[in-house]
Amino acid sequence: MPTEIPVIPTDARLIYPDHPPDYRDVLRKEMEKRKIPVSIGKTCPVKCTFCYEIDHSYRDTLEPGKTTQEDWNYILDYISKKPTRANENWVWGGNEYMEWTDLFLHPKAMEWLEDFLKYTDKSVTIFTVGYVHVPRIHQLAVQYPNRINFELSVITLHKDHRKALMPHAPSISHLMKVLEGPGVTSANFYSFDHHTMSVDAQTISRLNPHVILWMGCLTPLKGMDEQTVRLCRQGKKTLPEEALRIYEAALPNPTTIHTEPYITAFLNRHKIMTLFDALELEKKDTVVMGKSVYRVLSMYRKNRAHFLPVPNATLGGDSDCTILLTFDDILRRLNGEKVVHIPKCIMESPRGNDCDISGVTLEEFKEKAKCKVKILGKVNTKVADKKLWEHGYLSSYVRDYIANPAAKEFEAIPVPT
């Protein structure tokens, strides 16, 4: 039977945009980066005071809207057609183009996670502050062994700090049930004061002696309130004593200290020096770097090049990480240099196209820099990510940082502002 062709009034045609926005473009872009772009909408309702999405004004985020069953069918079908690679984990949630939220608040999340495991042969990494269904998450972990990497953001089990930092998060008693079973792979929690991280480590270890304890400090960033910043900084001061308590407790769990670039840089100082030597730079060459790497090179390779420490001004707060530098941060620090050497990792944001985390491309930077830009290809994300994980054990921190007098010297090196 012939279908009548609708007549579109001329006015409507005139106001129709040139390129009608297709929200599925957003989903496809995320899936090409191995993300599973389930969405609950743009802003996370949990409103943790330390959330790294509080200030994301430096990057554009897109809004595909709350995921419907129809969207999920499309997502699952698209992912199923992608090749399965060994050791590749799909990440639950888009976060390159979309805003990060706790996706287990989506009423269908558990059902769709099960679909993913049932209808694909791929592995998945999930993050949540604990909104998973118990016992279902444990049942899925047993039914699909080694397919779920579940990183549970405990943050803190300290009653008062938890109330201040994450008043809308799941209760401690619910978290205990999540931890007490095979579902969780790693639990991340942090130092905020004396007897915070160390008490949590022992509590979690009693509940689950297999889960990886992923510890350290939270970094204050731009936009966080004063109380949160104060708590995070206080935790940084008590980190060494807290780490020692856990070390002495000799827990059966794998114990790691991550999140602090200054610790990572110092523990990996020999590799940083080897990499620097391989660059074969000259004294007059200006090299851009984060403050922690600046301290390492100023201490062990003094005057071997002109080291230019660049603060993470875009992220603000206490951030100090070379990978998270932006071209805008570098522009603010340039002062008439003729040539500048830039680590490649800065322009290897997962968004692609040689851009930094804010989406500015190398070409755009070159136009504004008014100097010659040379890229240090050997200082790339692959190397940096590998470094981040090497020596990341709590025992390395205790033996080669806390107990090492050179670490005190390293911390005392002044960084030009």
- The binding site for ligand SF4 (CB under 6 A) comprises 44, 46-48, 51, 53, 100-102, 129
CB of residue 33 vs ligand SF4: minimum separation in angstroms?
18
Judged by beta carbon, residue 51 or residue 305, the one nearer ligand SF4 is: 51
CA distances, 31 to each of 34, 58, 124, 228 (Å): 5, 23, 13, 34
Complex with ligand SF4: residue 49 or 326, whichever CB lies closer: 49
Give whichever of 103 and 360 is closer to ligand SF4, judged by the CB atom.
103
Exposed / middle / buried, residue 209 (Cβ in 10 Å: 0-12, 13-18, 19+): exposed
d(CA 140, CA 135) in angstroms, rounded, equals 9
Backbone angles phi, psi at 278, to 5 degrees: -70, -15
Least CB distance to ligand SF4 at residue 280 (A): 43
**Smaller CB separation from ligand SF4, 26 or 407:** 26
191, 242 Cβ separation under 8 angstroms: yes
Specify the residue, 48 or 345, whose C-beta has the smaller distance to ligand SF4.
48
CA distances from 49 to 55, 103, 240, 391, 403 (A): 11, 18, 24, 30, 33
Side-chain half-sphere exposure of 164, counting CA atoms within 13 A = 15
Pick between residue 48 and residue 281 the one whose CB is nearest to ligand SF4. 48
Indicate the residue among 183 and 311 with the shorter CB distance to ligand SF4.
183
Q: What does the block give as tokens for 127?
A: 């993050």
In the complex, least distance from residue 370 CB atom to ligand SF4, rounded to whole angstroms: 39
Alpha-carbon span 315 to 357, nearest angstrom: 10
Cβ 43 to ligand SF4 shortest distance, Å: 9
Tell me, letter by letter, the H, E, C secondary structure of 30-89.
HHHCCEECCCCCCCCCCCCCCCCCCCCCCCCCCCCCCCCHHHHHHHHHHHHCCCCCCCCE
* Helices (runs of H) and strands (runs of E) counted in the chain: 17, 11
Q: Is the distance from CB of 299 to CB of 307 less than 8 angstroms?
A: no
For ligand SF4, the closer CB: 100 or 393:
100
DSSP for residue 126: E
Residue whose CB is less far from ligand SF4, 63 or 400:
63
Measured from the CB of residue 53, what is the shortest distance to ligand SF4 in angstroms? 5
Output the smallest distance, CB 219 to ligand SF4, in A. 13
Q: 47's torsion region: left (phi>0), alpha (psi -120 to 50) or beta?
A: left
Nearest distance, CB of residue 150 and ligand SF4, angstroms: 15
CB of 214 to ligand SF4, least distance (A): 15
- Do 102 and 128 touch, CB atoms closer than 8 A? yes
DSSP at 229: H
In whole angstroms, what is the distance from residue 414 CA to residue 302 CA? Answer: 13
Closest contact distance (angstroms) between CB of 171 and ligand SF4 is: 14
CB of 129 to ligand SF4, least distance (A): 5
CA 256 to chain centre: 16
Nearer residue to ligand SF4 within complex by CB, 102 or 318: 102
